[in-house]
Amino acid sequence: EKIFHNRDHSDVEIQQQADPIIDEGTAQQFLSKYGFIKPVNWEEIQFENEEAVLSDDSPAPKDIVSVIQEGGSLSRMGIKDQSDDPAESLQFTSALEEFQRVSGLPVTGAFDDATKAAMNEPRCGVPDKEEPADSSDAQNATETELRNATAGNITASTAANETVNGTEDWRASTEVH
Amino acid sequence: GKLHLKTLLSKGRRKREAEGLGHMAFSKKVLKWRLIGEGYSSQLSIDDQRYVFRLAFRMWSEVSPLEFEEDSHSPLEEIDIRLGFGTGRHLGCTQRFDGAGREFAHAWFLGDIHFDDDEHFTAPNAGSGISLLKVAVHEIGHVLGLPHIHRTGSIMQPNYLPQDAGFEIDWLDRKAIQHLYGACNGRFSTAFDWIRKERTPYGEEVIRFNTYFMRDGWYWMYENRSNRTRYGDPVAVQAGWHGIPADGVDAYVHVWTWSTDAVYFFKGTQYWRYDSENDRVYTEDPKGHRYPRLISEGFPGVPGPIDTAFYNRRDNHIYFFKGPDVYSFDVSANAKARGFPKRIDEVFPAAVPGDHPGGYLDAAYFSYTHNAVFLLKGTRFWRVVSGKDRIRQPSLPRNSLLPHREVEDQWFDICNVHATALKL
């Protein structure tokens, strides 16, 4: 147990508890954070400048990264609550199935109890699906975008042309939104 | 600056296409690590924290060519891997921790490892809590370039599984790290099977053997049935072989006949007889010989120092190797065999022309597991053709050497650890 000295244990700071994964919204954050929706550029996250680290309710890092990578629209990409967007829920289901598969769970595509329990298990914070960071085009695109994003003059179409390979269609659909 | 560093690293990092099994994160073999002062845990003593991390690094070192050295003094920028504990927003990290439960640690490819001090980390074998050792081995795996591996038994699984007693780095995780940094290799001082008598629970006397590889002052026990060295090896020679020179030996010979059962270690011009019953060298053996003795005294006609030696049960001769020559010593006659020394390639010719160690061997090893004699030199070995081989292929010259192979392809994971990590 935590070391205490006061009779009433008041000197033991109330230990913060991790927010449990309880519904599809938090499950989506989980899947997004660990790269099941889109591989996370984990290296990129380590390098984002402090300013970009938003307040406590900052969106899951993937979205911070996508804001940086995307460059064009610097508006925050908050976690969308459950939209009825069919593409989005399809994405969620396939990400959930992928998580269930690698976790050795029955692949139901539904946020069932077994999946919920698995998501609340103690785990490492490194994403399960990382984006290769140093393939040269991704590297250049990221650098260019970062530089342009800093300069604020990147345009959505530029971002679309220089996206990391394999995310083109994802980005395009996001840009549409 | 950070972006520039990332660019440098990304461009500089050699990424081996390894079926998605990570990337080589370091190009040097000796890495420095430190538990940073502002990152001590409030749950374990600092000594416990450092002990656990020393053990975690050593576990990776035992299965890879990498060596890890704890460095508490160099400037921080010279430290390759920095470890620290924190809670919530911590240690200047962009990824805040989530409190007790769920996320327990993360690692960055630049070599930072953070542990969430809101978790209940415990020292090895504490039974409860989250094993700091297991989490540390996992996170170090990330810093070395391994991703999450969704495979039962892998230390790189993303979820923490309560520690099965004494977890180890299994075969596939070893191959994954060796795929990035190569297998372990290097020359050996000697290799041998040590025979000992044991009593079964029913009182029967049985003969057992264990295989050992020695390199200077260190040794490994090799578990043939598991294709790996004993967990926790190498250890210092003097810890396991009492009385032989602490910096290692040149050769081991076990003379085993109906009337003789004598184990000898050779170093320089001297040799020791080993008392296997009491697991130490004799100062005086049952025949009244005192040790160490001069090789030339105990084996007339054989000049020390020797490179290596082995006892051949087929002809009851000891073969001493020295430079390009070999001396055959007749144990029964206690005399050098007639016509010796001869050149090694005359007595042990190459089965394939040109594929021969020449001389200056490191080890000559009779293996009970393989029922064969091996000559080791550098990272290679040559197997001596056996009687069975010659029945199958009569054209093979007697005692000829089959083409060489790499030691690492037959005896796996015999890896050094940093000298500072030899004793934990």
Q: Is B262 on the interface with A (CB under 8 A)?
A: no
pLDDT of res. A10: 64
How far apart (Å, rounded) are the C-alpha atoms in residues B163 and B175?
22
- A124 and B139 in contact by Cβ < 8 A? yes
DSSP string, B167-235: ----HHHHHHHHHHH-------SEEEEEEEEEE-TTS-EEEEEEEEEEETTEEEEEEGGGTEEPTT--E
Q: Is A166 on the interface with B (CB under 8 A)?
A: no
ipTM, interface predicted TM-score of the complex: 0.77
pLDDT of res. A164: 34
pLDDT of res. B109: 82
Q: Residue A52: what residue type? A: A
B24 contact residues in A (CB cutoff 8 A): none
Catalytic residue set of B: 139
pLDDT of res. A132: 64
- A134 and B15 in contact by Cβ < 8 A? yes
pLDDT of res. A129: 83
Residue B119 has pLDDT above 80, yes or no: yes
A134 contact residues in B (CB cutoff 8 A): 9-11, 13, 15, 23
How far apart (Å, rounded) are the C-alpha atoms in residues B104 and B184?
32
Helix (H, G, I), strand (E, B) or coil at A57: coil
Q: Identify which of A59, A62, A48, A60 has the alpha carbon closest to the alpha carbon of residue A149.
A: A48
Q: Is A55 on the interface with B (CB under 8 A)?
A: no
Q: State how far residue B176 is from chain A, nearest Cα, in angstroms.
A: 17
The tens digit of pLDDT for each residue in A157-168 reads 333 333 333 333
Higher-confidence position of A155 and B386? B386
The tens digit of pLDDT for each residue in B66-92 reads 999 999 999 999 999 999 999 999 998
Q: Is A19 on the interface with B (CB under 8 A)?
A: yes
What are B97's two structure tokens?
Answer: 């921790």
Region of poorest pLDDT, from A69-73, B158-162, B187-191, B342-346: A69-73
DSSP string, B241-306: SBTS-TT--SEEEEEE-SS-EEEEEEETTEEEEEETTTTEE-SB-TTS-BSSEEHHHHSTT-PSP-
Task: Give the other-Cβ count within 10 Å of B387's Cβ.
Answer: 9
What value does the mean pLDDT take over residues B43-66?
Answer: 96
Q: Residue B86: what residue type? A: G
How far apart (Å, rounded) are the C-alpha atoms in residues B263 and B176?
39
pLDDT of res. A141: 41
Q: Which of A16, A43, A121 sits opposite B118 (nearest CB)?
A: A16
Most B CBs within 10 Å, among A5, A22, A119, A124, to test the B interface: A124
- List chain A pLDDT tens, one digit each, 177 residues: 556 666 666 666 566 778 889 999 999 999 999 999 888 888 766 665 544 333 333 343 344 333 333 333 333 333 334 445 777 777 889 999 999 999 999 999 999 999 999 999 999 999 998 776 554 444 444 434 434 443 333 333 333 333 333 333 333 333 322
What are B71's two structure tokens?
Answer: 């460095």
- A48 and B94 in contact by Cβ < 8 A? yes
How far apart (Å, rounded) are the C-alpha atoms in residues B96 and B82?
17
- DSSP category for residue B317: E
- Any idea which residue has 């990152």 for tokens? B39
B286 contacts B308 by C-beta, under 8 angstroms: no
B422 contacts B237 by C-beta, under 8 angstroms: no
Most A CBs within 10 Å, among B19, B48, B102, B115, to test the A interface: B102
Q: State how far residue B180 is from chain A, nearest Cα, in angstroms.
A: 16
The tens digit of pLDDT for each residue in B191-231 reads 999 998 888 889 998 999 999 999 999 999 999 999 999 99
Cα-to-chain-centroid distance, residue B206: 28
The tens digit of pLDDT for each residue in B255-273 reads 999 899 999 999 999 999 9
What value does the mean pLDDT take over residues B98-107?
Answer: 92
Q: For chain B, how many residues are written?
A: 424
How far apart (Å, rounded) are the C-alpha atoms in residues B336 and B48?
57
Per-position b or e across B53-85, b if 16+ CB within 10 A of its CB:
bbbbbbbbbbbbbbbbbbbeeeeeeebbbbbbb
Q: Is A26 on the interface with B (CB under 8 A)?
A: no
